[in-house]
Amino acid sequence: MTESRFDEATPSGALTLSTLGGHAAGQLLRLCDIAGLDTAVAGSYAQTMTDVLGPVAERPLDLPPPTPTFLSDDQTPVEFSLSFLPGAAPSLRVLLEPGYGAAGLTQNGRTGLRVIREMARRWDFSTDRLDELEDLFFPASPQGPLTLWCALELRPGGIPKVKVYLNPAASGAERSAGTLREALTRLGHPEAFDSLPPAAGYPFLALDLGDWESPRVKVYVSHPNLAATEAGLLSRANAGPLPTEVEEFFRTAAGLDTDAADGADVRLDRRPVLTCHSFTDTASGTPTGFTLHIPVRDYVRHDGEALARAESLLLRYGVDPAPLGRSLSAVTARRPEDGVGLIAYLALAHQQGRPPRVTAYISSEAYAVRPPAVVESPRAEAVG
């Protein structure tokens, strides 16, 4: 592994705070401290992150983003997330686009595959499941907003858990369902597609690679104009969350604790809600996990409101909310009330045999901060 340049509280050397890599590495180092990772491990992970970003890590931030990315609203190819369980330090993850800055999606995908295979050699894991899908997700002329993202779940010891995110619309949005069905079949889940809830689209297929106790195949489903009562019925997992639990999370995250006076339900009519359905059991087509993702940034005036909702949810699940507040301070010096989008999503995850966890997705905001919004109430109408 490359010797780390990040062994102090702030980056040093070529990657100064005025570069993309230096900015993101400084954020990561401070978040690692909140997650309870020691300094040497944190430095190693910061080095890994900048290695994954490649040449754009040295790009000055006073230059505009080199290419668009679907990963964040301000075109930063980095997103952090913290997952919370009672009585434990938060689990830290960083999501990256390895091919960011490439000249087109084809080169973006080739770079992503190369980076994942370099990780596999470094950390001695197999890419067989990814290789099995290469023709489906990396066609000669890929379409859509992405080719490959990778997520690193940062653990003590310096070797992360690795996930890859692929685009089912790579060969065209009209072929997404067929691409996804074929991919699930090749991965040993031939009945999985038919177990999914109704969908407006399938933005991602995700694979766990490497050292996972039960490697998952995860399908993300888009649900525009969704209401809380409908969200409660979307899980297909055995021993998944009760509909009432999903509805309560939905309402709190979206700021809808009080129903409309006429009994109508309220739909989230801006950025769509996402659900994730994870499969580990090849003997059945039934998911073993379910996650609800609320795009909170589109349903608040500013991040102060988003933080208050997140803290309320954490307390409901018996989690100390203080580390989340410290995490926001770790990535930016601005006040939460001075912008919106720092907390991008709030999610409730259920996985078979494990306690539920709450996850907050935190934007790097390397390039821009969205100003506070004047948010009208989401559209209310009768449901069902």
pLDDT tens digit at each of 384 positions of the chain: 444 454 443 444 457 779 999 999 999 999 999 999 999 999 999 999 999 999 999 999 999 999 999 999 999 999 999 999 999 999 999 999 999 999 999 999 999 999 999 999 999 999 999 999 999 999 999 999 999 999 999 999 999 999 999 999 999 999 999 999 999 999 999 999 999 999 999 999 999 998 898 899 999 999 999 999 999 999 999 889 999 999 999 999 999 965 454 445 899 999 999 999 999 988 888 999 999 999 999 999 999 999 999 999 999 999 999 999 999 999 999 999 999 999 999 999 999 989 999 999 999 999 999 999 976 656 545 454
Residue 12 within any structural domain of the chain: no
Which tokens belong to 185? 């079949």
Q: How far is CA 129 from CA 72, 186, 187, 221, 287, in A?
A: 27, 9, 7, 21, 18
Residue 383 within any structural domain of the chain: no
Domain of 143? 20-367
Residue 2 within any structural domain of the chain: no
The confidence score (pLDDT) of residue 257 equals 67
Which tokens belong to 78? 């980095």
The confidence score (pLDDT) of residue 308 equals 98
Based on the structure, what is the number of domains in the chain?
1
Residue 149 identity: W
Residue 377 within any structural domain of the chain: no
The confidence score (pLDDT) of residue 12 equals 41
Residue 170 within any structural domain of the chain: yes
The confidence score (pLDDT) of residue 264 equals 59
Residue 229 within any structural domain of the chain: yes
The confidence score (pLDDT) of residue 16 equals 74
Residue 101 within any structural domain of the chain: yes
Beta strand 343-351 with 217-223: parallel, antiparallel or unpaired? unpaired
The confidence score (pLDDT) of residue 377 equals 56
Q: Which residues, in sequence order, are CB contacts of 185 under 8 Å at separation 6+?
A: none
Whole-number Å distance between alpha carbons of 276 and 64: 33
Strand, helix or coil at 34? helix
Whole-number Å distance between alpha carbons of 343 and 360: 7
Residue 41 within any structural domain of the chain: yes
